[in-house]
Structure 1
C-alpha cells in the first residue's frame, strides 16, 4: 500500500522539461525583442526549475516512505495511521509488549544498581568511597535519561526500529564488557556509558510507539510496559546472586547479558508505530526543544520531575548497603532489591490503571509524595530486618508509580506528533537530576576508616526532595486547570 500517492516519478519526466527551449518569436526591433526574449526565457526556466525541484522533493519523500515500508515490513505489513484505531486489536498490545521488554532492559537493569554498588564496594572497587562508586550508576541513569534528547527526535523522523536494533546491540555489548572489567574507568565506560546508551534507545523508541497506539487506555498501557522494569529488578538480582555465589562475577554478568539480549531482541521484533515517521527534517533546536518550555505547565512538570529525580534512585542504590550496615548478610541485602522491585510491579500497574480514571496529575502527585514519605520518616525509623523489608516493598510500590506516570504525564500535556521529541526534551533536563542525585547521597553517607556511614541524613535528603517535587506538581496542575486543584486531571 503506498505511503503518500500512486503517482510515479522518473528522471526523464523531471529533466526533459528543463532541457526543452520555449519558442521565442523575432520582431524587427532587435534590442527590445532580445530583452523581452531573455526575460521570458529566464522566467520560463525559473518556473521549470522550481517545478523540477518540487518533483525531486516529492520523489525523495516517496523513496523515503518506500524505504520505511520495506524496512517495517520485515515483520509487519505497512502500517497506515488511518487504517488502525488506537486501543483496538493485537497491534497496540504488541507495542505494549515491546515496551514491557524494553523497560526490563532499561529501568529493570537500572533498578539493580544497588546490587552492583554493594558488590563493587566489597570486591573489585573496595578501596574506593561509596560516592566514587556511585558515579557508575549515576552516569548510567544520566545517559538513560539524557539520551532522549536525540532518541525522541530520531524516532519521530524515522520510526522506532532505527533505535531498537542499535539499542539491542549496544546494551548486550556493554553488559558483556562489564563482565571482564577490573578497573574503575572500565566499569564507567562499559556499564555507565555503553549499556546505558542501548537502554536509552530501547526505552524511548517503545515510549513513542505506545503513545501512538493508545488513547483512552494509555495510562494502563504505560503501566503494563513499566511493569517490565519491575520484573527485571526482581529477576536480575537473584540471577546475579546465585551465579556469582556458586561460580564467578563474570559468569553472573554474562547470564544477565543473555537475559537482556533475549528481551531486547523481542523488543526489536514486536515494536512498530501506528503513525508513519515524518522523514528527515531540518534540525531546529530552539523550535523542537526550547519552544515547549514557553508553556508554563510543561516547564513546571519538568521542574517537578528534575527535583524528584534528585532522590528517586537513592533507595535503589543504597538500600542494600544500608542493610549491610545494619547486620544483613550480602545475600539478604541483594534480596532487598528484589523486594523493592516486587513492590514496584504493583505500583506501576495500579498507578497506570488508576490514572485513566482519576487523572494523570492526581496520581503523579500522590505517588511522588508517598515516595518521599516512605524515604523519610519511615525508612529513617526502620532498623530491624522486618521493617527494612516492608520499607523496600512500600517504596518500590510508590516509586514504581512515579516511573510509570512520567511518560504518561508528558504525553497527556503534549501534541501527539511531538511526544517523542517532548519526552526527549524533558529527559535531557531531568537527566541532570539523576546525574547529581546519587553522588550527593553518596557524599552525605560518607564513611571511611575514621567515621561511620551517615545513612540517616541521606534518608532525610531523599525524602525532602521527592516531597518538594510533588508540591511543584501541584502548582503545575493548578496552572493547567485554572486553579482547580481538586479537578480530575
Structure 2
C-alpha cells in the first residue's frame, strides 16, 4: 500500500486501466515503457495532484507544526492549571493518529476508497477544529483537537501521497518533496493567523477562522486530487494483504530501520512544540516574537525539505538521512548555548532546515530494506506504525523532564528538553549507520542508494 514512496517506483498501466496494489511494482516494471497517453495526462494531472497534496500537507502537518503556538497559549493563558506535559499530549496524539492512520487508509486506498477517504478525512478535520472553538476544558480540547482532528488527518495522509506518486514516472522523490513542503508553509500561515487573531477576536473565533481556511483548502485539494482520478482503484481479492507480515520481525535491517526512525521521530518534533514558550519565558520576548521564531524555523524547513531531497536524488538518500539525523541531534544540544535572541533564531533556522528532510527521506531508503517488493507496503506500514509511537511520546516525555525542579510552565527546565531531543536523535542517526552496514551485509547493497 505504501510503495508509492519508493524513489524510483513507476506506474506502468494506462490511465483507463485498473490500477492494482501499489506495493506490487517491481524493478522489471520500472524499466518498461510508459504508454504515451499516460505520460501526457500525467503531465497535466500530476501537477494538479502535487498542488492538491501540497494543500493536504498544508493542513495536516502545517497545523501540527503550528501547535507550538497553541502549546504556549494553553500553558500560559488559556488552561494554565494543566502541565506542559499534559498539553503536549493534545498535539502528539494528533500527530500519532495522523501517522498510524496509514494502517487503515493504506488498505482502503488499495481497495479503491480514495474518494471516500479524502472526503471523510476532510470533514473530520474541520469538525474537530470547530468543536475546539467551543472547548473550555482540557478533556474537550484533547478530544476535539487531538482525537477528532487526528483521526481525520490520518485518513488523508496516505491517499494524498499515493495519488501523487502514481502520477509520476520520473523524479518522484522531487514531486513528493515539493508536496511535503506544504507542511512548513502551512505551519507558517497558521502560526501567523493564530498570533494575529488571538488578541483581536479571541480564541473561539481564531480557531473557527482557521477551520474555514482548512475547509477551503480541503475542497480545492479534493478537486485537484480526485478530478483526474474519478475511476475507482480496485484490487482482486487475491491481491489483498494482511496488515502484519511476521517475516519482518525476524529481519535485522527491518528492526534497524524501525529503531533508527523511532528515535529520530522521538526528538524531531519536540523543539517545534517548545520554541515559542522558550522565547517568552527564557529570553523575555513577546508572544508575537516567540511565534515569529517558530515561523522562521518553519520557513527554513521549506528550503531544507526541497533542497535536501534534491541532494538525496543525486547523492543518495541513505547518506542524506544520516547527515540530517546527526546534525539535527547536534543542533538540539547546541540549543543549550542560545542565551540570546540572535543565537536562538539561528538555532531555530538551522534546525528547521536540516530536520525537515527527516520526513520525506525514510520512505526512499525503505525500498532497499524490504527484500520482497510485493510486501513493501505491509513492511513499511509496520515500520511507520512503530515509529508513530515516538511522535506520541516525545514531547510529553520532554515536557515531564522539563517540569523537574520547575515552578510551572513559566519556569521550565529546558535543559531536559534539549538533552533529551539531542541524545535520542544522535542515537537514531547512529542506528542508521548500523542499518547501512546491515544492508551491505544482508542485502548486498553498495553505494549510497
Q: 1:382 aligns with which of 316, 319, 338?
A: 338
Q: Report the 3-state secondary structure (helix = DSSP H, G, I; strand = E; otherwise coil) of the residue aligned with 1:89.
A: helix
| C-alpha contact 1:179 1:251 (8 A) present in aligned 2 | yes
C-alpha distance in 2 between matches for 1:355 and 1:216: 14
Q: Quickly say closer, same or farther: Cα 1:317–1:450, change in 2 above 3 A.
A: closer
Q: Quickly say closer, same or farther: Cα 1:468–1:216, change in 2 above 3 A.
A: farther
Partner of 1:472: 431
Counterparts in 2 of 1:444-455, with a 5 A limit?
A: 444-446=401-403, 447-448=406-407, 452-455=411-414
Q: 1:176 aligns with which of 98, 112, 130?
A: 130
C-alpha distance in 1 between matches for 2:242 and 2:193: 43
Unaligned runs of 5+ in 2: 1-17, 20-33
**RMSD, aligned CA:** 2.8
Please give the TM-score of this superposition, normalised by the length of structure 2: 0.84
Q: 1:309 aligns with which of 265, 271, 276?
A: 265
Find out whether 1:164 has 2:107 as its counterpart. no
User: Which structure would you say has the larger Rg?
Assistant: 1
C-alpha distance in 1 between matches for 2:49 and 2:205: 32
Q: Quickly say closer, same or farther: Cα 1:269–1:412, change in 2 above 3 A.
A: farther
Deviations along 1:87-137, one digit per CA (max 9) or x if unpaired, are: 951222223222211111111111011111000012221111111111111
Counterparts in 2 of 1:177-256, with a 5 A limit?
A: 177-256=131-210
Q: 2:396 aligns with which of 431, 439, 445?
A: 439
Deviations along 1:191-225, one digit per CA (max 9) or x if unpaired, are: 00111111121111112223323344122111101
Find out whether 1:335 has 2:295 as its counterpart. no
Please give the TM-score of this superposition, normalised by the length of structure 1: 0.78
Q: Report the 3-state secondary structure (helix = DSSP H, G, I; strand = E; otherwise coil) of the residue aligned with 1:271.
A: helix
Partner of 2:440: 481
Partner of 1:15: none
Deviations along 1:286-306, one digit per CA (max 9) or x if unpaired, are: 6x4444444433332222111
Q: Report the 3-state secondary structure (helix = DSSP H, G, I; strand = E; otherwise coil) of the residue aligned with 1:247.
A: helix
Q: Report the 3-state secondary structure (helix = DSSP H, G, I; strand = E; otherwise coil) of the residue aligned with 2:111.
A: helix
Q: Quickly say closer, same or farther: Cα 1:292–1:158, change in 2 above 3 A.
A: farther
Q: Report the 3-state secondary structure (helix = DSSP H, G, I; strand = E; otherwise coil) of the residue aligned with 1:408.
A: helix
Q: Quickly say closer, same or farther: Cα 1:143–1:86, change in 2 above 3 A.
A: farther
| C-alpha contact 2:260 2:429 (8 A) present in aligned 1 | yes
| C-alpha contact 1:101 1:228 (8 A) present in aligned 2 | yes
Partner of 2:105: 151
| C-alpha contact 1:110 1:137 (8 A) present in aligned 2 | yes
Aligned residues: 410
| C-alpha contact 1:86 1:212 (8 A) present in aligned 2 | no
C-alpha distance in 2 between matches for 1:86 and 1:445: 55
Partner of 1:392: 348
Q: Report the 3-state secondary structure (helix = DSSP H, G, I; strand = E; otherwise coil) of the residue aligned with 2:359.
A: helix
Q: Quickly say closer, same or farther: Cα 1:417–1:155, change in 2 above 3 A.
A: farther
C-alpha distance in 1 between matches for 2:270 and 2:250: 31
| C-alpha contact 2:109 2:233 (8 A) present in aligned 1 | no
Find out whether 1:350 has 2:350 as its counterpart. no
Find out whether 1:364 has 2:321 as its counterpart. yes
Q: 1:133 aligns with which of 83, 87, 99?
A: 87
Q: How far is 1:262 from its partner?
A: 1.9
Q: Report the 3-state secondary structure (helix = DSSP H, G, I; strand = E; otherwise coil) of the residue aligned with 1:398.
A: helix
Q: How far is 1:337 from its partner?
A: 1.5
Instruction: Considering Cα pairs closer than 8 Å and 6+ residues apart, tell me whether 1 or 2 has the greater RCO.
Output: 2
Counterparts in 2 of 1:88-99, with a 5 A limit?
A: 89-99=43-53
